[in-house]
Amino acid sequence: MTDAIIARNVTYRAGREFAIRDLSMNVPSGSVYGFLGPNGSGKTTTLRLILGMLPIEDGTIDLLGHDVPKGVHKALAKIGYVPERLHLYPQLTVEETLRYHAAFYADWDHARAESLRREFALRAEQPVDRLSKGESGKLMMLVALAHNPQLLVLDEPTDGLDPVVRRDVLAALLEYVSSRSATVLISSHLIHEQERICDHVGVMDGGRLIAEMPMTAFRGGIKRLRVSRPPVEGGSLPFTLLNRGVTAGREEEWVVRGWQPAMREYFSAAESELREVIDLDLEESFVELLRSARKPAGTAGEAS
């Protein structure tokens, strides 16, 4: 499987406070890649860097086989982008907006655009500035889908939408992805939504990509372990220890990543007792990843 997006050691600085630091990521072709992170973690900035809207200071980005920013315009012809906020001209009508965008894309599918417009119940003559938030979201999705893109980049596409509109937008997205084998990079802080639709996930925090893995690994690979007579830290662990905290007496809770049942033997060999292995849901896994990333290096074993 080739990668639709390959970023290597990308660095970008915006003012004194915020920076994207040494970001490397791979978005496999045909995947639905969920980009998770708290507000202000750098998801939107990263998407804009990938699309060549912001200048990278260092590093390289390959977008659908084109170098960014040099060949980004060729890549953009094959990309549908739904930004975080409305980017369409408010004075134009829905029909004029579609005509405007159609002029820029050689592969614009007028029939598909019309069918999506009807499906989304958007009136052709309605001005963009009179659309509700849900209708604006649908129109942006329509504009992104109508030229049959190979890659969809969606920045919080369902944020603030009511459940019915959210379902419509996600249904259109999934229908498109399944029929075209397109790649989707979708940023959101709605973790359960991502869990439903994504097969890969990347987690951003503080301008860094702190984890990137298949969704199955994210969903099943992070566990909370209750350990009696825990071994003192040191030596090589068969898993990644994210957090370690004392609960009561000599019992500890460990949060680990990359857990496999066969790793129980590590505790037997260390004369410890593994009392319980607890599955974490996606939200808990996400929070534990963030907590681990925000701790100073080498301090996995702080009290919880």
Partner 1 sequence: MFAQVLYTQWKWARTELVLYVLAAFLIPTIIIRTGFSYVITYDIHSALGVSTLAGVCLAALAMLCAFGLAWRPYILDAGLKHVGPLSLPVSWGAFVRMRFLAGATLLLIPAAAVWFGGVLAAASVTIPPTLHAYPGGLAIRFYLASLVAYAAAFALQYVAGKHAVRVAVIVLVVVAVAEIAAQMIGFSSIVAGAWNMLTNWPGPFAVFAARWMLIDV
Residues that bind partner 1 in the complex, under the rule CB under 8 A: 51-53, 73-74, 76-77, 81, 83, 85-89, 91-92, 96, 99-101, 103-105
Q: How far is the CB of 279 from partner 1 (least distance, A)?
A: 40
Smallest separation (angstroms) from partner 1 to the CB of 149: 10
Taking the complex as a whole, the smallest distance from the CB of residue 99 to partner 1 amounts, in Å, to 7
Rounded to whole angstroms, how far apart are CA atoms 245 and 254?
Answer: 6
Q: Do the beta carbons of residue 255 and residue 295 sit within 8 Å?
A: no
We find the least distance from the C-beta atom of residue 189 to partner 1, in angstroms, to be 20
The nearer residue to partner 1, 67 or 199, going by C-beta atoms, is 67
Q: Between 35 and 267, whose beta carbon lies closer to partner 1? A: 35
Pick 81 or 286: Cβ nearer partner 1: 81
Cis peptide before 69 (omega within 30 of 0): yes
- Using the 8-state DSSP alphabet, how is residue 159 labeled? T
Contact (CB, 8 A) for 153 and 81 = yes
- CA 138, CA 97: separation in Å to the nearest integer? 13
Place of tokens 């260092």: 58
**What's the rounded Cα separation, in Å, for the pair 90 and 88?**
6
For partner 1, the closer of residues 107 and 283 by Cβ is: 107
For residue 136, the surrounding DSSP H or E stretch is helix 133-145
Nearer of residues 13 and 74 to partner 1, judged by Cβ = 74
Distance from the Cα of residue 274 to its chain's centroid: 34
Task: Please report how close the Cβ of residue 181 comes to partner 1 at its closest, in angstroms.
Answer: 21
For the bound state, the minimum distance from the C-beta of residue 207 to partner 1, rounded and expressed in Å, comes to 19
Strands 32-36, 183-188: pairing is: parallel
Closer Cβ to partner 1, 83 or 207, answer by number: 83
How would you write 220-264 as a 3-class SS string? HHEEEEEEECCCCCCCCCCCEEEEEEEEECCEEEEEEECCCHHHH
Q: Is the CB of 85 or the CB of 294 nearer to partner 1?
A: 85
Q: How far is the CB of 103 from partner 1 (least distance, A)?
A: 4
Six-digit token string for 286: 């996400």
HSE-up of residue 39 (Cα within 13 Å, Cβ side)? 2
